[in-house]
Amino acid sequence: MKLKKIAKHVGALGIACGLSIASFSAAAADTIKVGVLHSLSGTMAISETTLKDTMLMLIEEQNKKGGLLGKKLEAVVVDPASNWPLFAEKTRELLTKDKVAAIFGCWTSVSRKSVLPVIEELNGVLFYPVQYEGEESSRNVFYTGAAPNQQAIPAVDYLMKDMKVKRWVLAGTDYVYPRTTNKILEAYLMAKGVAKEDIMINYTPFGHSDWQNIVSDIKRFGSAGKKTAVVSTINGDANVPFYRELGNQKVTAEDIPVVAFSVGEEELSGIDTKPLVGHLAAWNYFMSEDNPANAAFIKQWKAFIKNDKRVTNDPMEAHYIGFNMWVKAVEKAGTTDTDKVVDAIIGIEAPNLTGGMSKMLPNHHITKPVLIGEIQEDGQFLTVSQTDGLVPGDAWSDFLEGSKDLESDWIKLKCGNYNTKTKKCLGAAAAQ
Amino acid sequence: MRNQTPLFGRWQVQLILLLSLCCSASVFAQDAEISTTAAAIDTAPTEALATTAPEFDTLVKALTQGSLPKRAQTAKKLGQLDDPRVIPIITALQQGSLYAEKSVDPLVAISDNAGNYVNALNGEKIPATQAEPLKRVPINNTMRSQLRTLLASLNLNDKKPAVRLNAVNRMIADGVDEDTIALLQERQKTEPNEDVRDAITTAFALMNLQSEKASVRIDAIAVLRGSLQQEVRSALLDIANNDSDIKVKQQAQFALDSIEDRISAFRLTENIFFGLSLGSVLLLSAIGLSITFGVMGVINMAHGELMMIGAYVTWVVQQLFPNQIAYSLMIAIPSAFIVAGLVGIAIERGVIRFLYGRPLETLLATFGISLILQQAARSIFSPLNRAVELPEWMSGSLVINPVLSITYNRLYIFIFGLIVFFALLAILKKTSLGLKVRAVSQNRAMARAVGVRASWVDAMTFGLGSGIAGIAGVALSQLTNVGPNLGQAYIIDSFMVVVFGGVGNLWGTLVGAMGLGIINKFLEPYAGAVLAKVLVLVLLILFIQKRPKGIFPQKGRAAAD
């Protein structure tokens, strides 16, 4: 009885809240709404909360500059709570109820895959800021993070050429991004003449914390007299115990370097970095990049978040680039209409934070420099290698069977997965 | 009532005393180690400052400025100078504790990692006010390994045998050539230590393997037989596969086989240790649950979050005493016990006591509590993981031989797990609270009839189980992330252990945890980590089908319901 009463009250409160939000948004009809779709609770909150704050900062900054098309920008923040189906629901809500002009969001590939059908059905725009496994190109999604050829392949090249690595351990968490990336890397290494017995592939569950025998295996694998390196696609949370075990078993970066694709400044801020010094990471941006644009961005971020210790990282830079590209595209098109913006944004250039200009390509990926850095004791990276110029993102890997014939071009071909051999567009069905 | 409160105080004090005693013992055992390593760095350049060659000063300053390859050259030149200050400076650079200003004429300093700086040139202390512009001298892997090789040749004449042994082994690892052999021959003449002499002999034998004469190679193989060193193995493997002489090939193969035999025995030992170590982690996380779930029958889904609280307490303690990392665990263990215990009592008094006998509702309610606690951690400590530092005595490993080494943090956690287990066993068997807990769990009505305050015992028991979860959190903070998701990772495993071992039986939890740990570690090499977990779960389900009450089923009246 009592419970029922409470439930009634709560329900009434909820309706009241909903009404007030609705009335508020009606009053602010002359703003352009931007959806921010990042998990603020649950497992992924650790990474995604920062991106939400980044978006709020960028939007605030744009409003200080006078907004967009004479209107103010308004951020609509929703919390998909690290729950993949909820990502799709929240996207639908953002597009139908709030009628946002663009969505900036998602972190994991599975959340993006969950959003994909909705965003295509309702013809929205999504900017996806995280490095991912490629093998996708949607008309409604812009991939501002790295494709495998902008992170994994250059990192392996660096190890092969500069560090003379002959034996490879591909270690990853067991989900789609590491599996696909490792498949691409394995094909790439074999194409470069690495023998099959010189490649060891290992998958572990999410949040794996007992690395004793895997590290011991890696040590044994590395003791065959050939220089060995570990290419790690181990997901965030499992990294701390992994690196600790490496440190404790005295696997040093000089003997067996580990190059990671998911360890950035933010992850390092939660780790005791001593055992990691010298291990590598490949990204398109490091906080330690020394140029005025980056210095200004860091200063702005610290002021916005009111914490002098907070760090910046690669996905933040991706949002920075993506947001500026979107603003320029809307200005060019003179409207926020999806079809016009999608056409206008191709070829648009926006400054990145490594001192260059990134460009949106017809395949909805962008050009980025690739940096390899060594982890330093203060949790920052020392850049040891950088590609000459910018690397254009490639949606379909050239090293996978079935993917190497595909091409994505939303201007000339109007297709995300055009098969150059059969001269046919596979269409949306095949992309899933 | 009057005699119950002091009793509670007594057992709690006993437990804390016991725990802190055991832990301080392990610290003292470690103290010796720390002092030796500290001494190794402490060969500070304070005494012999006679040679103040200007060349030395310029080289040290050049070492901190400019491009990395240039600085590596400088380091080499510096290594040729006969000056006692050279080794500490290069060691500091290699370990990243060399600091310098960014200028043409920089102040160069060595840091002791506790925030004190010493001038690298004259050994004077640098006051904190002047240390402000000092930046760590950047260094990369290539340079680090160059310096390591350089240090090996410099350290060959060190006073300590251990340092010399390391130097020789490093030379072997880098590959022996004529230059190193010449250095080693010089050293061998005066070397008093047997281990170092053995290592030098190994180096010579490795060199002789490359000899033109087959007889020399065979002699070298005879010397190397039985050595477990990785370089020896790969050198022998190379000979066994590629040597031109069939007899040499055979000998190398024999030597390899005998080495492999020894290694496989050590591997088995290693694997058992890995299993026991995983088991001890499972034991620690399950033992609190075996009280709340096993003895009280409460399905507490928030158990993992109580561990999370313990881990956060460790972090807070480290923040409060940033300079006492080595001892912070001593404070963290009792604090975590108290904090998590209090939270547990609050949960019991606030929610669970209304739900006794309704397992489904308890499950849902405690699941809700676990979500609330997680989100609370996110709001209070931010969703980012917090960095808990590993004390010096917890890092590194106990090297028994080149193929078998046991990491210290795992070893201590294993010992700690056993201590907690026996402490808890003693509490349940020997104290008045334990007696009452057992009485209430076996027959609630009868216990109340003889004057036991059942509800008070419930709260204390739940607090005890929660407190132990907090202690487990302290141990976990040394192994994994300290973040809001810490608890989720262990809750399933904990329930698995308790169910496997037999609900309500502490010994069952011990055997169950160690058994699952070892099974897991023996499956992993064949099945991979993901499949091993699945297989363990399947095996467990089959086992439960056969023996629904676990390994050690509860006997007597409690088993009836």
DSSP state of A415: E
Q: What pLDDT, in 10s, does the model give residues B369-379?
A: 999 999 999 88
- The whole-number pLDDT of residue B30 equals 38
Please tell me the distance in Å from A409's CA to the nearest CA on chain B.
38
Instruction: Judge whether residue B333 has pLDDT over 90.
Output: yes
Instruction: Judge whether residue A8 has pLDDT over 70.
Output: no
Residues of B in contact with A43 (CB under 8 A): 485, 488
Co-location of B94 and B234 in the same domain: no
User: Which residue, A298, A278, A301, A302, is CA-closest to A289?
Assistant: A298
- The whole-number pLDDT of residue A29 equals 58
Residues of A in contact with B277 (CB under 8 A): 210, 212
Co-location of A191 and A283 in the same domain: yes
- The whole-number pLDDT of residue B427 equals 92
Co-location of A167 and A127 in the same domain: no
| Interfacial B residues in 365-404 facing A (CB < 8 Å) | 375, 378, 382-390, 395-397
Co-location of B228 and B338 in the same domain: no
Under a CB-based contact definition with an 8 Å cutoff, are residues B388 and B478 in contact? Answer: yes
Instruction: Judge whether residue A152 has pLDDT over 90.
Output: yes
Q: What is the DSSP string of A100-125?
A: -SEEEE--SHHHHHHHHHHHHHTT--
Residues of A in contact with B237 (CB under 8 A): 224-225
Beta strands in A305-414 (DSSP E): 349-351, 357-359, 367-368, 371-375, 381-386, 391-392, 406-409
Co-location of A115 and A261 in the same domain: no
Q: Is residue A431 part of a domain?
A: no
Q: What is the DSSP string of B284-349?
A: HHHHHHIIIIIIT----TTHHHHHHHHHHHHHHHHHHSTT-HHHHHHHHHHHHHHHHHHHHHHHHH
Confidence at A431, pLDDT banded by 50, 70, 90? very low
Co-location of A240 and A386 in the same domain: yes
Closest residue to B409, CB basis, from A217, A248, A377: A248
Confidence at B23, pLDDT banded by 50, 70, 90? very low
Quote the percentage of chain A above a pLDDT of 70. Answer: 92
Among chain B residues, the shortest Cα distance to A213 is held by: B274
Give the range with max mean pLDDT: A239-248, B162-171, B310-319: B310-319
B36 reaches A (C-beta below 8 A): no
- The whole-number pLDDT of residue B192 equals 86
Under a CB-based contact definition with an 8 Å cutoff, are residues A52 and A38 in contact? Answer: yes
Interface probe for B, chosen from A38, A46, A263, A372 (most Cβ of B below 10 Å), is A46
B278 reaches A (C-beta below 8 A): yes
Closest residue to B530, CB basis, from A46, A203, A376: A203
Under a CB-based contact definition with an 8 Å cutoff, are residues B500 and B543 in contact? Answer: yes
Please tell me the distance in Å from B48's CA to the nearest CA on chain A.
31
Q: What pLDDT, in 10s, does the model give residues B486-543?
A: 888 889 889 999 989 887 788 999 999 999 999 999 998 888 888 888 999 999 999 9
Closest residue to A213, CB basis, from B144, B231, B274: B274
Co-location of B493 and B461 in the same domain: yes
Residues of A in contact with B387 (CB under 8 A): 269-273
Residues of A in contact with B481 (CB under 8 A): 237, 240-241, 270
Closest residue to B397, CB basis, from A217, A248, A274: A248
Among chain A residues, the shortest Cα distance to B68 is held by: A384
Instruction: Judge whether residue B346 has pLDDT over 80.
Output: yes
- The whole-number pLDDT of residue B555 equals 63
CATH number at residue A158: 3.40.50.2300
Residues of A in contact with B404 (CB under 8 A): none
Give the range with max mean pLDDT: B349-353, B398-402, B482-486: B349-353
Instruction: Judge whether residue B15 has pLDDT over 60.
Output: no
Residues of A in contact with B483 (CB under 8 A): 46, 237, 270
Sign of CA pseudo-dihedral B74, B76, B80, B86: positive
Instruction: Judge whether residue B417 has pLDDT over 80.
Output: yes
Co-location of A232 and A379 in the same domain: yes
Co-location of A121 and A200 in the same domain: no
- CB contact (8 A) between residue A254 and residue B407: no
Q: Is residue B16 part of a domain?
A: no
Co-location of B518 and B555 in the same domain: yes
Query: Cβ atoms within 10 A of the Cβ of B210, count?
Result: 14
Phi, psi of B352 (to 5 degrees): -65, -35
Q: Is residue A428 part of a domain?
A: no
Closest residue to B383, CB basis, from A49, A163, A245: A49
- The whole-number pLDDT of residue B556 equals 52
Distance of CA B319 to the CA centre of its chain: 20
- The whole-number pLDDT of residue A223 equals 83
Closest residue to B480, CB basis, from A203, A209, A249: A209
Residues of A in contact with B145 (CB under 8 A): 254
Mean pLDDT value of segment A143-155:
94
Q: What pLDDT, in 10s, does the model give residues B39-66?
A: 334 444 444 444 456 788 888 888 888 7
Instruction: Judge whether residue A39 has pLDDT over 80.
Output: yes
Q: Is residue A203 part of a domain?
A: yes
Q: Is residue B86 part of a domain?
A: yes
Co-location of A228 and A304 in the same domain: no
| Interfacial B residues in 471-490 facing A (CB < 8 Å) | 479-485, 488-489
Separation between Cα atoms, residue B153 and residue B134, nearest integer Å? 30
Q: Is residue B32 part of a domain?
A: no
Mean pLDDT value of segment A107-136:
94
Co-location of B113 and B176 in the same domain: no
Structural domain ending residue among the three candidates B96, B118, B142: B142
Distance of CA B142 to the CA centre of its chain: 28
Co-location of A165 and A139 in the same domain: no
Co-location of A48 and A94 in the same domain: yes
Q: Is residue A306 part of a domain?
A: yes
- Give residue B494's domain range: 279-386+403-560
Mean pLDDT value of segment A44-57:
91
- CB contact (8 A) between residue B397 and residue A204: no
Residues of A in contact with B521 (CB under 8 A): 212-213
Instruction: Judge whether residue A171 has pLDDT over 90.
Output: yes
Residues of B in contact with A218 (CB under 8 A): none
- Give residue A78's domain range: 31-146+298-368
Q: What pLDDT, in 10s, does the model give residues A200-245?
A: 999 998 888 889 989 999 998 988 778 999 999 998 778 888 988 8
Among chain A residues, the shortest Cα distance to B403 is held by: A220
Average pLDDT over chain A, rounded to an integer:
88
- The whole-number pLDDT of residue B78 equals 84
Q: How many domains does chain B have?
A: 3
Q: How many domains does chain A have?
A: 2
Confidence at A56, pLDDT banded by 50, 70, 90? very high
Q: Is residue A23 part of a domain?
A: no
Among chain B residues, the shortest Cα distance to A247 is held by: B396
Confidence at B340, pLDDT banded by 50, 70, 90? very high
Please tell me the distance in Å from B215's CA to the nearest CA on chain A.
25
Average pLDDT over chain B, rounded to an integer:
83
Q: Is residue A12 part of a domain?
A: no
Q: Is residue B413 part of a domain?
A: yes
Co-location of B64 and B170 in the same domain: no
Confidence at A317, pLDDT banded by 50, 70, 90? very high
Q: Is residue B44 part of a domain?
A: no
Co-location of B82 and B170 in the same domain: no
- The whole-number pLDDT of residue A25 equals 44
Residues of B in contact with A45 (CB under 8 A): 378, 383, 484
- The whole-number pLDDT of residue A12 equals 46
Give the range with max mean pLDDT: A421-430, B253-262, B398-407, B465-474: B465-474
Higher model confidence: residue B57 or residue A197?
A197
Structural domain ending residue among the three candidates A352, A368, A384: A368
- CB contact (8 A) between residue B136 and residue A216: no
Closest residue to B274, CB basis, from A212, A247, A270: A212
The tally of CA atoms less than 13 A away on the side-chain side of residue B57 is 13
Q: Is residue B196 part of a domain?
A: yes
Structural domain ending residue among the three candidates B142, B167, B201: B142
- The whole-number pLDDT of residue B110 equals 86
Q: Quote the Cα angle for A265-A295-A360, to 5°.
A: 80
| Interfacial B residues in 193-252 facing A (CB < 8 Å) | 230-231, 233-235, 237-238
Co-location of A209 and A78 in the same domain: no
Write the CB contacts of B265 (distance below 8 Å, at least 6 apart in sequence). Answer: none
Separation between Cα atoms, residue B280 and residue B285, nearest integer Å? 9
Co-location of B227 and B317 in the same domain: no
CA–CA distances in Å: residue B438 to residues B245, B368, B459, B461, B557: 75, 29, 14, 10, 12
Co-location of B305 and B231 in the same domain: no
Q: Is residue A409 part of a domain?
A: no
- The whole-number pLDDT of residue B48 equals 44
Separation between Cα atoms, residue A109 and residue A408, nearest integer Å? 19
Co-location of A316 and A383 in the same domain: no
Co-location of B204 and B136 in the same domain: no
Structural domain ending residue among the three candidates B142, B172, B200: B142
- CB contact (8 A) between residue A253 and residue B480: no
Mean pLDDT value of segment A42-47:
79
Residues of A in contact with B271 (CB under 8 A): 213
- The whole-number pLDDT of residue A428 equals 58
Higher model confidence: residue A156 or residue A22?
A156
Q: Is residue A251 part of a domain?
A: yes
Separation between Cα atoms, residue B288 and residue B275, nearest integer Å? 21
Interface probe for A, chosen from B384, B386, B516, B518 (most Cβ of A below 10 Å), is B384
Confidence at B32, pLDDT banded by 50, 70, 90? very low
Co-location of A119 and A244 in the same domain: no
